[in-house]
Structure 1
Amino acid sequence: MNINSTLFLQAIVFAILVWFTMRFVWPPITKALDERAAKIRDGLAAADKAKAELATANKKVDEQLAQTRNETAKLLADAEKRGAAIVDEAKKRAEDVGAKIVADAKAEAEQQAARAREALREQVAALAVKGAEQILQREVNASVHAELLGRLKTEL
């Protein structure tokens, strides 16, 4: 064989190989590469979207935390107000109960004073009767009567 014919035949085989590769091998490879590039593009887009969503979610979380802090502060203030109101109410009840106890004690003291006065009146009446008996048992004498009345006054 001649080198020219060998070269020519090799060129034809090479051309057939190039045609076959371009026709049957190259399209699936380019298709796979395109699909891979599309997947990478989609993945990058999804990553960017996820980043944006994460930033939005972080912003919402910060807003909710601020709102929760505000609500908590408000609840604490309300609780403190309610606690103060309860303490004031308890003080008022205690004052009312104290006033009632004082009023009851005053009423009891007045009743005891009235009973003491009544007992004293009874004793004075008994002493008056006793004094009258002593006056009547002795003779009627103005100086003696005055002396007895003076003793009655001191006894009362």
Structure 2
Amino acid sequence: MSTLFLVDFNVLKPDIGLIFWTVIIFLVLYFILGKLAWEPIQKALRRRDEEIQSSIDEAKRAREEMQAQADENQRLLIEAREERTRIISDAEKQRKEMIAEAKNEARDAAQKVASDARRDIDNMRKAAMVDLKKEVGTMAIEIAEKILQKDLKSDANQEAFVRELVRDLN
């Protein structure tokens, strides 16, 4: 009987019973696979899809943050360049002011030294003049003394000289 059944079996002309059992088995397998395999597969696919989407969103956010950071770095670089330029110009200005101030101080110091030197020279000249006058006076007195001693050796000359002095005083 079993050989008979196999001999009569034709794939191109299925039997109603075969169709029925095939449909039943297909539906049972479909239901079992739907509950046991497809739902977990779909959940896994959804979870994977969500992870991929969140990774894409995270990558976009990271890219935006990197762009924002690059923009911030560019802005900071521009500010740093401007600050450097300002510092250099301030330093140059300060250098010029310091040089001008040093020149003025040097000029003032030179003028002070020159005026002190002139004053010292004037003082030395005056002191030399006083010394010279003192020496001349001393020499004049010594010369007059010698002349008077020579002229006043006699009593008559002394009396004539005293009368002449008294007459000059009156």
What TM-score bracket applies, with the shorter chain setting the length? 0.7 to 0.9
- Whole-Å separation in 1 of the counterparts to 2:93 and 2:100: 10
- Residue 96 of structure 1 aligns with an amino acid whose one-letter code is D
Alignment pair present for 1:72 and 2:78: no
Q: Which moved more, 1:22-31 or 1:86-95?
A: 86-95
Output aligned runs, 1:1-156, within 5 Å.
2=5, 8-9=20-21, 11-133=23-145, 137=150
In structure 1, what is the equivalent of residue 162 of structure 2? none
- Residue 28 of structure 2 aligns with an amino acid whose one-letter code is I
User: Cα deviations across residues 66-103 of structure 1 (Å, max 9, x unaligned)?
Assistant: 01110111011111211222222222222222222222
How far 1:113 moved relative to its partner?
A: 0.3
Q: Note the aligned Cα RMSD (angstroms).
A: 2.4
Task: Give 5+ residue unaligned stretches, structure 1.
Answer: 139-156
How far 1:116 moved relative to its partner?
A: 0.8
- Whole-Å separation in 2 of the counterparts to 1:61 and 1:39: 31
User: Cα deviations across residues 108-139 of structure 1 (Å, max 9, x unaligned)?
Assistant: 1111101111111122223333444565547x
In structure 2, what is the equivalent of residue 142 of structure 1? none
Q: Which moved more, 1:72-81 or 1:86-95?
A: 86-95
Q: Which has the higher contact order (CA 8 A, sep 6+)?
A: 1
Q: Which moved more, 1:45-54 or 1:109-118?
A: 45-54
Task: Give 5+ residue unaligned stretches, structure 2.
Answer: 10-14, 152-170
- Residue 64 of structure 1 aligns with an amino acid whose one-letter code is L
